[in-house]
Chain A
């Protein structure tokens, strides 16, 4: 695993294969919690945190499943492990690190059924990444989620003062704004290959 490879995986996950805007994972929080910049920030930090620990925990579990030829149990076991893990982290934070709990803890339960977390775990396996690359890819996916959330929170705050036709008010205008934000990410396609020349 070379440094170039690491950077190329990281940049691909953040820019060209952005989780929200290119793979449609984690759309619910993207549309639902992106009204204010600081809630968007809190949500995305919590998502990055949960994604990283889920990847770290499910990777060894998957090795065990593969060794025992129980691959078909992946979906059931992963969703349970992630749900239990989130509950555990919430309890630990509440008891020992009160300040962190106050800023992140409230978002944790929401993330259990967030498709981005299970999605990143399954995608890492599908790609056959090693543990290190899986973690980097997860970090990139999380940062990509944060970038998309923050940009979109900014776009939405401008949208609130705009004069929109009545039938587009609310969700339709939000979705069309998301479409335009996604167009801007199209511009990144080829950037990673261009930098690393692969």
Chain B
């Protein structure tokens, strides 16, 4: 039992730092760059993606012996898309301001590589509880990285922290935390940081930082390996044909 607990803790913590999906595995770059313009958006996106990730991991892991290997990717996509639809409905009903802020990026959680990647790499080989814990760890790791980036971008680009916090807090009723709606610190912010260019820049600097820290712990550098790093690599005809070319 003790051993079991220990391994569960390992599954949970690996997503936070050692295998952080954004900063170490470089997955899910699109939502990371797009929704990190404000801290509130980042938290909302993180929670939504974590919910989908945990639920889809649980269901995929529970069905791992039922789903035939050949059609597993379409099956996973359907499961993930169903949970995304549910989350979309919940957000639309309870946090309409967040739905407006995230826009098209909310349904696009379906094609977030982190979720399909975890299904393919973890949930279809491991029992339900371990998969749920793995999903939770990866989701929190994603949220943490997103939050980190959003803090830098919002502080430098908009001069504020937690702007429009009532968008999220509104779920718990009116005037939560005394109507706290963020604080403004810089009066003349550098707008470039909330523009797309600033997103790429901050992400680049964060990756460099995480590489530097990873170096000390003898971890490999975060790197995109083109198609090889894609979660669908094992089913992709391009990667398979390239591998065969290399063998010859």
- Residues on A lying within 8 angstroms of B by beta carbon are 21-28, 31-33, 35, 72-76, 79-80, 83, 90, 105-107, 109-110, 112-115, 118-119, 122-123, 126, 167-168, 170-176, 178-180, 182-183, 186
Of B74-82, B131-139, B140-148, B150-158, the stretch lying at the interface with chain A is B74-82
- Residue of B30, B88, B235, B237 near A75 (CB, 8 A) is B88
B: contact size bracket: 35 or more
In whole angstroms, how far apart are the Cα atoms of A176 and B74 in the complex? 35
Contacts of B88 in A (CB 8 A): 72, 75
Mark each residue of chain B from 93 to 126: 1 if its CB lies under 8 Å from any CB of chain A, else 0. Answer: 0000000000110011011110010000000000
Contact check, B238 vs A179: say whether CB atoms are below 8 A apart.
no
> Do most interface residues of chain B lie in helix, strand or loop, or is the interface mixed?
helix
Given A33-B227, A73-B85, A122-B107; A25-B78 close (CB under 8 Å): no
The answer to whether the Cβ of B50 comes within 8 Å of any Cβ in the partner chain is no
B interface vs A, CB < 8 Å? 26, 29-30, 33-34, 74, 77-78, 81-82, 84-85, 88-89, 103-104, 107-108, 110-113, 116, 192, 195-201, 203-205, 207-208, 211-212, 221-227, 229-230, 232, 235-238, 241
Complex alpha-carbon distance, A90 and B236, angstroms: 12
Tell whether, in the assembled complex, residue B81 and residue A79 are in contact, meaning their CB atoms are under 8 Å apart.
yes
Given contacts A106-B238, A171-B222, A171-B223, is CB(A28)–CB(B29) below 8 Å?
yes
Tell whether A79 pairs with B77 under 8 Å between CB atoms, given A21-B196, A26-B30: yes
How close is B71's CB to chain A, nearest CB, in angstroms?
11
Asked if B226 and A76 sit within 8 Å, CB to CB, the answer is no
**A113–B222 CB distance below 8 A:** no
Pairs A–B under 8 Å by Cβ, sample size 18? A27-B30, A28-B224, A31-B224, A72-B89, A75-B84, A79-B81, A105-B237, A107-B238, A109-B237, A109-B238, A118-B110, A168-B208, A171-B223, A174-B224, A175-B200, A176-B201, A178-B200, A179-B204
